[in-house]
């Protein structure tokens, strides 16, 4: 079993319950023979098949395995050509999807629309025999030096009535801006009509981008609508304070 030490997981959306006990890397033809129980209770990883973001395993007709990510990347053009998943699948999604977002940049006087890439990911099931969880979207690139956090706006003001059409706005912020020395977001201050930074109801810092979602549970984001979402943001942020 020592030959398994250098094997690394590449994809995580396949159940091992029905997999063979011997699999071959598509690139180097390395054959791995392993015992599932031993693998689950050790530090060794196993080769898993390549699939696409947002596609159920059953919708990916070609089973391809790799012993490392380098081999996976080099074989990707061939796999993409051979693997033609059903376009009718409700889970089908492109690996990267672009949404329109409203950007409040720290060094800019006014908000503006930008294109923001999102990628579909699918987490590992807790056990190999479990059904893989549904795919969901995350930011393809992190604009912040530390971490990002969704700030949900689902009402006209804190504790107020819901947004029209049950709209939900999502503002991605640097959730460490209060302790990591991020620059103040004067763009939001000017947007709210505040003349002195000390008069800000809430002292936002670092860049902020805003999009839409149908609900908190919905796996997919939606593009922001400038003329509809800006007035709501102004009304909500004008009443949002450090105590909310």
Task: Pick the last residue of a domain from 32, 50, 82.
Answer: 82
Yes or no: say if 218 and 169 are a contact pair by the CB < 8 Å rule.
Answer: no
State the residue range of the domain holding 27.
2-82
Question: Which phi and psi angles does 58 have, rounded to 5°?
Answer: -70, -20
Coil vs helix vs strand at 22: strand
116 and 76 co-located in one domain: no
Per-residue confidence in pLDDT tens, the chain, 244 aa: 333 333 333 333 333 333 444 566 777 776 654 433 333 333 334 445 555 544 555 556 666 776 666 777 777 777 777 776 544 444 444 567 889 999 999 989 999 999 998 888 877 766 666 676 778 888 887 777 666 778 899 999 898 999 988 889 999 998 888 787 889 999 999 999 998 888 999 999 999 999 999 888 888 899 999 999 999 999 999 999 877 6
Q: Are residues 59 and 124 in the same domain?
A: no
**What's the CA gap between 29 and 71, in Å, rounded?**
10
13 and 117 in one domain? no
177 and 213 co-located in one domain: yes
Whether 44 and 102 map to the same domain: the answer is no
Q: Provide the pLDDT for residue 146.
A: 65
The whole-number pLDDT of residue 62 equals 66
* Nearest partner of 49 among 69, 33, 65, 73, judged by Cα: 65
- Residue 133's pLDDT is 72
**Structural domain count, the chain:** 2
Structural domain includes residue 91: no
128 and 55 inside one domain: no
The pLDDT of residue 109 is 93
Q: Are residues 126 and 206 in the same domain?
A: yes
> pTM for the whole thing?
0.60
Considering the domain architecture, whether residues 49 and 130 belong to the same structural domain is answered as no
Q: Which of 59, 82, 105 is the last residue of a domain?
A: 82
One domain, residues 216 and 100: yes
In a domain, 217, yes or no: yes
Domain end among 82, 114, 133 = 82
What is the reported pLDDT for 18? 38
Any domain includes 196: yes
Q: Are residues 117 and 222 in the same domain?
A: yes
Do 179 and 231 lie in one domain? The reply is yes
What tokens appear for 41 in the block? 């209770």
**In this predicted structure, what is the pLDDT of residue 142?**
74
Owner of token pair 């002292």? 203
Q: What is each CA distance from 128 to 31, 46, 48, 100, in whole angstroms?
A: 21, 11, 11, 37
Do residues 65 and 115 share a domain?
Answer: no
Domain assignment present for 244: no
In a domain, 112, yes or no: yes
Measured from the Cβ of residue 72, the count of other Cβ atoms closer than 10 Å reads 23
Query: Can you give the pLDDT at residue 164?
Result: 86
Q: Is residue 16 part of a domain?
A: yes
């Amino acid at each position: 079993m020592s030959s398994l030490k250098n094997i690394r997981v590449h994809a995580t959306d396949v159940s091992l319950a029905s997999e063979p006990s011997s699999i071959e890397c598509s690139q180097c033809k390395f054959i791995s023979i392993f015992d599932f129980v031993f693998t689950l209770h050790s530090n060794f990883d196993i080769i898993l098949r390549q699939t696409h973001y947002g596609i159920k395993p059953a919708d990916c007709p070609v089973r391809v395995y790799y012993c490392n990510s380098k081999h996976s990347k080099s074989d990707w053009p061939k796999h993409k050509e051979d693997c033609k998943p059903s376009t009718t699948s409700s889970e089908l999604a492109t690996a990267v999807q672009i949404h329109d977002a409203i950007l409040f940049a720290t060094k800019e006087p006014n908000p503006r629309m930008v294109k923001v890439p999102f990628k579909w990911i699918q987490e590992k099931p807790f056990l190999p025999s479990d059904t893989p969880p549904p795919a969901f979207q995350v930011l393809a690139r992190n604009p912040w030096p530390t971490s990002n956090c969704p700030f949900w706006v689902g009402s006209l003001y804190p504790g107020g009535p819901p947004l029209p059409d049950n709209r939900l706005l999502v503002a991605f912020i640097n959730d460490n801006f209060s302790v990591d020395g991020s620059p103040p977001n004067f763009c939001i201050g000017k947007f709210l009509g505040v003349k002195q930074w000390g008069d800000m109801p809430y002292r936002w810092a670092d860049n902020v981008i805003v999009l839409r979602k149908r609900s908190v549970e919905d796996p997919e984001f939606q593009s922001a609508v400038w003329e509809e979402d800006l007035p709501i943001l102004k009304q909500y942020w004008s009443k949002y304070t450090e105590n909310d």
